Protein backbone atom coordinates (compact mmCIF):
# COMPACT_ATOMS: atom_id res chain seq x y z
CA UNK A 1 0.00 0.00 0.00
CA UNK A 2 1.38 3.43 -0.92
CA UNK A 3 2.17 6.05 1.71
CA UNK A 4 -0.35 8.50 0.21
CA UNK A 5 -3.14 5.95 0.39
CA UNK A 6 -2.20 4.97 3.93
CA UNK A 7 -2.10 8.65 4.99
CA UNK A 8 -5.52 9.19 3.40
CA UNK A 9 -6.96 6.22 5.27
CA UNK A 10 -5.34 7.18 8.60
CA UNK A 11 -6.60 10.79 8.44
CA UNK A 12 -10.02 10.03 7.01
CA UNK A 13 -9.21 12.25 4.03
CA UNK A 14 -8.30 15.23 6.20
CA UNK A 15 -4.54 15.83 5.85
CA UNK A 16 -4.49 18.58 8.48
CA UNK A 17 -5.02 15.88 11.13
CA UNK A 18 -1.39 14.72 10.77
CA UNK A 19 -0.02 18.23 11.12
CA UNK A 20 1.77 19.41 14.25
CA UNK A 21 -0.29 22.60 13.84
CA UNK A 22 -3.60 20.74 13.87
CA UNK A 23 -4.96 22.61 16.89
CA UNK A 24 -4.07 25.98 15.34
CA UNK A 25 -5.84 25.10 12.08
CA UNK A 26 -8.92 23.98 14.01
CA UNK A 27 -8.89 27.14 16.15
CA UNK A 28 -8.61 29.45 13.13
CA UNK A 29 -11.32 27.50 11.32
CA UNK A 30 -13.73 27.84 14.21
CA UNK A 31 -12.90 31.51 14.70
CA UNK A 32 -13.52 32.33 11.02
CA UNK A 33 -16.32 29.86 10.26
CA UNK A 34 -14.33 27.72 7.83
CA UNK A 35 -13.19 24.11 7.76
CA UNK A 36 -9.78 23.11 9.13
CA UNK A 37 -9.11 21.53 5.72
CA UNK A 38 -9.45 24.94 4.03
CA UNK A 39 -7.17 26.59 6.59
CA UNK A 40 -4.58 23.81 6.08
CA UNK A 41 -4.86 24.14 2.29
CA UNK A 42 -4.27 27.90 2.43
CA UNK A 43 -1.35 27.44 4.81
CA UNK A 44 0.31 25.20 2.24
CA UNK A 45 -0.77 27.09 -0.89
CA UNK A 46 -1.73 30.66 0.05
CA UNK A 47 -3.57 31.67 -3.11
CA UNK A 48 -6.79 33.57 -2.67
CA UNK A 49 -9.86 31.93 -4.15
CA UNK A 50 -12.25 34.39 -2.53
CA UNK A 51 -12.34 37.55 -0.46
CA UNK A 52 -12.90 35.47 2.69
CA UNK A 53 -9.61 33.63 2.17
CA UNK A 54 -7.74 36.86 2.93
CA UNK A 55 -8.92 36.70 6.56
CA UNK A 56 -7.53 33.16 6.90
CA UNK A 57 -4.23 34.14 5.31
CA UNK A 58 -4.01 37.21 7.56
CA UNK A 59 -4.56 35.04 10.65
CA UNK A 60 -1.98 32.47 9.48
CA UNK A 61 0.49 35.31 8.91
CA UNK A 62 -0.23 36.88 12.31
CA UNK A 63 0.43 33.55 14.01
CA UNK A 64 3.74 33.14 12.14
CA UNK A 65 2.66 30.17 10.03
CA UNK A 66 2.98 32.19 6.83
CA UNK A 67 5.74 34.73 6.34
CA UNK A 68 4.98 38.34 5.55
CA UNK A 69 5.98 39.54 2.10
CA UNK A 70 8.52 42.34 2.12
Instruction: Please indicate whether residue 18 or residue 43 has the higher confidence score (pLDDT).
Output: 43
Chain centre to alpha carbon of residue 46: 9
Give the pTM: 0.79
Per-residue pLDDT tens digits for 25-56: 999 999 999 999 999 999 988 787 788 899 99
Q: Where are the domains of the chain?
A: 3-62
* Residues 6+ away with beta carbon under 8 Å from 19: 25, 40
- What pLDDT does 45 receive? 84
How far is the C-alpha of 4 from the C-alpha of 18, rounded, in Å? 12
Amino acid sequence: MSNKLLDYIMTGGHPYRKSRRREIYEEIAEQLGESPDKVYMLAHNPRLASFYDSAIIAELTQRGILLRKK
